Protein backbone atom coordinates (compact mmCIF):
# COMPACT_ATOMS: atom_id res chain seq x y z
CA UNK A 1 0.00 0.00 0.00
CA UNK A 2 2.84 2.42 0.79
CA UNK A 3 4.26 2.03 -2.72
CA UNK A 4 0.89 3.00 -4.19
CA UNK A 5 0.73 6.10 -1.99
CA UNK A 6 4.23 7.14 -3.03
CA UNK A 7 3.37 6.59 -6.71
CA UNK A 8 0.17 8.62 -6.42
CA UNK A 9 1.98 11.49 -4.74
CA UNK A 10 4.72 11.40 -7.36
CA UNK A 11 2.12 11.37 -10.14
CA UNK A 12 0.92 14.74 -8.86
CA UNK A 13 4.31 16.13 -7.83
CA UNK A 14 6.14 15.69 -11.13
CA UNK A 15 3.64 17.56 -13.33
CA UNK A 16 3.20 20.14 -10.57
CA UNK A 17 6.96 20.75 -10.59
CA UNK A 18 6.93 21.24 -14.35
CA UNK A 19 3.95 23.61 -14.27
CA UNK A 20 5.25 25.72 -11.38
CA UNK A 21 8.74 25.85 -12.87
CA UNK A 22 7.43 27.00 -16.26
CA UNK A 23 5.07 29.57 -14.70
CA UNK A 24 7.82 31.08 -12.55
CA UNK A 25 10.41 31.09 -15.34
CA UNK A 26 7.92 32.77 -17.69
CA UNK A 27 7.69 35.69 -15.26
CA UNK A 28 11.47 36.08 -15.08
CA UNK A 29 13.14 36.52 -18.42
CA UNK A 30 16.54 35.55 -17.06
CA UNK A 31 18.73 32.48 -17.30
CA UNK A 32 18.71 32.19 -13.49
CA UNK A 33 16.70 29.07 -12.54
CA UNK A 34 14.01 30.78 -10.45
CA UNK A 35 11.48 28.01 -11.10
CA UNK A 36 13.71 25.28 -9.70
CA UNK A 37 14.53 27.42 -6.68
CA UNK A 38 10.82 27.99 -5.99
CA UNK A 39 9.79 24.32 -6.25
CA UNK A 40 12.71 23.23 -4.07
CA UNK A 41 11.90 25.76 -1.35
CA UNK A 42 8.16 25.00 -1.41
CA UNK A 43 8.81 21.27 -1.33
CA UNK A 44 11.27 21.64 1.54
CA UNK A 45 8.77 23.70 3.53
CA UNK A 46 5.99 21.17 2.97
CA UNK A 47 8.27 18.26 3.84
CA UNK A 48 9.34 20.06 7.00
CA UNK A 49 5.70 20.50 8.04
CA UNK A 50 4.97 16.83 7.35
CA UNK A 51 8.02 15.53 9.20
CA UNK A 52 7.48 17.92 12.10
CA UNK A 53 3.86 16.80 12.30
CA UNK A 54 4.87 13.16 12.15
CA UNK A 55 7.42 13.71 14.93
CA UNK A 56 4.68 14.85 17.30
CA UNK A 57 2.21 12.18 16.17
CA UNK A 58 -0.14 14.52 14.29
CA UNK A 59 0.63 13.32 10.76
CA UNK A 60 0.24 9.61 9.98
CA UNK A 61 2.90 7.65 8.13
CA UNK A 62 0.57 7.11 5.18
CA UNK A 63 0.33 10.88 4.67
CA UNK A 64 4.11 11.20 4.93
CA UNK A 65 4.42 8.51 2.22
CA UNK A 66 1.84 10.17 -0.04
CA UNK A 67 2.84 13.81 0.37
CA UNK A 68 6.37 13.65 1.79
CA UNK A 69 8.01 10.89 -0.20
CA UNK A 70 5.72 10.94 -3.24
CA UNK A 71 4.65 14.54 -3.83
CA UNK A 72 7.66 16.33 -2.33
CA UNK A 73 10.07 13.78 -3.76
CA UNK A 74 8.77 14.44 -7.27
CA UNK A 75 8.18 18.16 -6.75
CA UNK A 76 11.71 18.93 -5.62
CA UNK A 77 14.64 18.28 -7.90
CA UNK A 78 18.25 18.07 -6.85
CA UNK A 79 19.37 16.83 -10.26
CA UNK A 80 17.88 19.82 -12.08
CA UNK A 81 19.38 22.17 -9.48
CA UNK A 82 22.79 20.59 -10.09
CA UNK A 83 22.44 20.68 -13.87
CA UNK A 84 21.29 24.30 -13.93
CA UNK A 85 24.10 25.39 -11.63
CA UNK A 86 26.71 23.67 -13.82
CA UNK A 87 25.08 25.12 -16.96
CA UNK A 88 25.30 28.65 -15.53
CA UNK A 89 28.95 28.10 -14.64
CA UNK A 90 29.82 26.68 -18.08
CA UNK A 91 28.02 29.58 -19.78
CA UNK A 92 30.32 31.99 -17.96
CA UNK A 93 27.72 33.10 -15.40
CA UNK A 94 29.93 32.17 -12.48
CA UNK A 95 28.45 34.58 -9.93
CA UNK A 96 24.84 33.52 -10.70
CA UNK A 97 25.98 29.87 -10.48
CA UNK A 98 27.53 30.46 -7.08
CA UNK A 99 24.51 32.42 -5.87
CA UNK A 100 22.19 29.68 -7.11
CA UNK A 101 24.12 27.06 -5.16
CA UNK A 102 24.25 29.09 -1.96
CA UNK A 103 20.72 30.49 -2.06
CA UNK A 104 19.17 27.14 -3.01
CA UNK A 105 20.82 25.23 -0.18
CA UNK A 106 20.28 27.91 2.46
CA UNK A 107 16.68 28.65 1.43
CA UNK A 108 15.66 24.99 1.17
CA UNK A 109 17.21 24.07 4.51
CA UNK A 110 15.73 27.20 6.09
CA UNK A 111 12.29 26.36 4.68
CA UNK A 112 12.51 22.81 6.05
CA UNK A 113 13.49 24.15 9.47
CA UNK A 114 10.61 26.65 9.40
CA UNK A 115 8.23 23.85 8.36
CA UNK A 116 9.29 21.59 11.22
CA UNK A 117 9.05 24.47 13.69
CA UNK A 118 5.58 25.45 12.44
CA UNK A 119 4.34 21.89 12.66
CA UNK A 120 5.71 21.34 16.15
CA UNK A 121 4.20 24.65 17.28
CA UNK A 122 0.79 23.91 15.73
CA UNK A 123 0.49 20.31 16.87
CA UNK A 124 2.55 20.11 20.05
Tell me the per-residue pLDDT of 86-95, one tens digit each, with 9 for 90 and over.
999 999 999 9
pLDDT, tens only, 97-115: 999 999 999 999 999 999 9
CB contact at 8 A, 97 and 89: yes
Instruction: Please enumerate, by residue number, every residue annotated as part of a binding site for Na(+).
Output: 73, 76
Whole-prediction pTM value? 0.95
Backbone phi and psi for residue 31, each to the nearest 5 degrees, phi listed first: -80, -10
Which helix H or strand E contains 46, and what residues bound it?
Answer: helix 34-55
CB contact at 8 A, 47 and 115: yes
Instruction: Please enumerate, by residue number, every residue annotated as part of a binding site.
Output: 73, 76
Q: Of the candidates 110, 93, 73, 92, which has an alpha carbon nearest to the alpha carbon of residue 32?
A: 93
Amino acid sequence: MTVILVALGAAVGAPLRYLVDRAVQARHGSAFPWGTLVVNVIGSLLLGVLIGGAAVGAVPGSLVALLGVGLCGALTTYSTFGYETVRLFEDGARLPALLNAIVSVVAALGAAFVGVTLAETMWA
